[in-house]
Amino acid sequence: MNNETTPEVTSISRRKFLRDTAYTAAGIGAFGILSSKAQSPQSGKTLKVAVVGCGQRGLAALGDFQEAARILGHNVEVVALCDVFEDRAKQSAEKSRVDPSRSHWGFDSYKKAAASDAEFVIMATPPNFRPVHFDAMVKAGKHSFVEKPVAVDPVGARAMLASGELAKQKGLAAIVGTQRRYDAGYLRNKAKIDAGAIGPILGGTVSWNHRVPWIKERQANWSDAEYLVRNWLNFTELSGDHVAEQLIHNLDVANWFIGRTPQAFLGYGSRIRRVTGNQFDFFSCDVDYGDGVHIHSMCRQINGTYMNIGEFFRGAEGQCNGGGKLTGKEVAIEEPKLESPISGVQEHVELIKGVLAGKPLNTIKEGTEATLASIGMRISAYTGQLVRWTDMTVNTKSPFYALQLSPTALDFEHDTVVMPSEAPALPGEPWHKKA
C-alpha cells in the first residue's frame, strides 16, 4: 500500500478549483507578494531542478514544478534524482525520462543534489531529514521547495528557522508545501477576514479525521534503519506523528487566519490499535491563541470512523469554513487572478516567479510555525503536560526546548541508528521517555 490516497491535494475538488480560478490572490500578500497573470520577466529559460526523496510526493511535486514552469513559459531540466533506495532512484529516472546517470542513492544522496548545478531543489523525504537537507541546500545556494512538516521536534524546527534566515540573507527562495495558502478559496476568505467580514476571530475548530494511510510490515532482511525509513509514516521519530504529518495543514490555516501563533497547548490522545510503529491513533487539543481565542484541534487515524478535514472559525460578526462558505458583512477585496487553479501548482508558480523577478519568496517562518503548532500539540498529548509556545522557542529551561527525537537524520547517515521503542508515549510519565 502507499499513501496516494492521502487526501491532501484531492480534498479540494476540481469543480471548486475551477470556480475559484476567478478569485483573488490578495491573501498571498501575507507572504509579501501579489499574484498577477503576467508572464515571468524572461520566458523560455531552462530551469534546473533536483529532487531529494523520490516517493509519491517528490515526483508529484516535480510534476507541479514542471507545470508551473510551463505556465510561465519556461522549460525544466531535471539534473538529479536522489533517494535512499537504488531502485526508487532508478525508477524515478525512468518515470521522469531522465538519464539514469542523474539518479543517486543512499542516506547521503542529498549531497549530490547540493553539489549539482540545480538552481531549485525539491525536498520530499520523511520530515525528520528536512532540517539537515535544507541547511545543505541553502549553504549550496539552491532555491528550495520543502514539503511539510519541516521538522519533527523543537530542535529541528529552530534549525529550520535559522536556515530560513540564512536563505533570506543569501537572496534564496525557500517555500513550504502548505498549499492551502495558494488556494483561491482560502486566499479570498483570508482577505475578507482581514477586511473585517466576520469581525475578530473568537474561536473555532480544525480537524483531520481520516483513516490510516498505509503501513509497511517488517521484512526479515531489513535493517532497523531500512524498516524505519520504509515504514516512516508510522514512527513518530520520522513523521512527527500524524498530528504533524496531516493536521499541520489545518493548524497552518488557524495561524494564518488568526494572524498569530498559539501561546499554549493542552492535549489528549492515545494509541489503541495501530499495528505498527509508535504513533497515537487520535489527538484532541485546546490550542490557546491568547486574548481568549481558543481553537479545538483534533485528528484521528482510525479506519471506519467519521471522516472530516477542515477548519471552522467563529468571529464576532460572522463565521467561516476554511476556504469555503463565509457568512458575515459584505467587504470589498482585491481579486487578482492565480495562474493555476491547482494550489500545488500555484505554489511553484510563486516560487519561480519570485526567483526570476529577483524577489525570492521565503515562507520558512510560516511553515515552521505550523510545524511547531503540531509539535506542541503532540508533546502535550504524549506527556499530559501544558506546553507553552515559548517552551519550544525561547525558554531554554523548559524540558521541551532541547527535545530532539532519536534516531536523528545524522544517525541514519552515519549508520548509528538505534531502533526506537514501539511502546507509545504514556501521559504522566517523565517527559523524556517520549515526547
Ligand X SMILES: NC(=O)c1ccc[n+]([C@@H]2O[C@H](COP(=O)([O-])OP(=O)(O)OC[C@H]3O[C@@H](n4cnc5c(N)ncnc54)[C@H](O)[C@@H]3O)[C@@H](O)[C@H]2O)c1
**Paired strand residues for 321:** 312
Residues 81-110 that bind ligand X (CB under 6 A): 82-85, 88, 107, 109-110
In the bound complex, what is the minimum distance in angstroms from residue 8's beta carbon to ligand X?
A: 3
Residues 354-373 that bind ligand X (CB under 6 A): none
In the bound complex, what is the minimum distance in angstroms from residue 161's beta carbon to ligand X?
A: 18
Which of the ranges 51-59, 73-81, 165-173, 317-325 carries the binding residues for ligand X, by CB under 6 A? 51-59
Contact 134, 151 (CB under 8 A): no
Q: Which C-beta is closer to ligand X: that of 222 or that of 268?
A: 222
One character per residue 134-153, x = contact with ligand X (rule: CB under 6 A): -------------xx-----
In the bound complex, what is the minimum distance in angstroms from residue 206's beta carbon to ligand X?
A: 16
Q: Does 341 bind ligand X (CB under 6 A)?
A: no
In the bound complex, what is the minimum distance in angstroms from residue 425's beta carbon to ligand X?
A: 21
In the bound complex, what is the minimum distance in angstroms from residue 290's beta carbon to ligand X?
A: 28
Q: Which C-beta is closer to ligand X: that of 213 or that of 328?
A: 213
Which of the ranges 68-76, 126-134, 385-393, 421-429 carries the binding residues for ligand X, by CB under 6 A? 126-134
Q: Does 177 bind ligand X (CB under 6 A)?
A: yes
Q: Does 321 bind ligand X (CB under 6 A)?
A: no
Closest CA to 83 of 215, 232, 241, 224: 232
Work out whether strand 46-52 and strand 120-123 pair parallel, antiparallel, or are unpaired.
Answer: parallel
Cis before 154 (ω within 30): no
Enumerate residues 6+ apart whose C-beta is below 8 A from 299.
207, 208, 209, 242, 243, 246, 247, 282, 283
Which of the ranges 94-102, 121-129, 182-190, 274-282 carries the binding residues for ligand X, by CB under 6 A? 121-129
Q: Which C-beta is closer to ligand X: that of 183 or that of 391?
A: 183
How far does CA 105 lie from the centroid of its chain? 24
In the bound complex, what is the minimum distance in angstroms from residue 370's beta carbon to ligand X?
A: 11
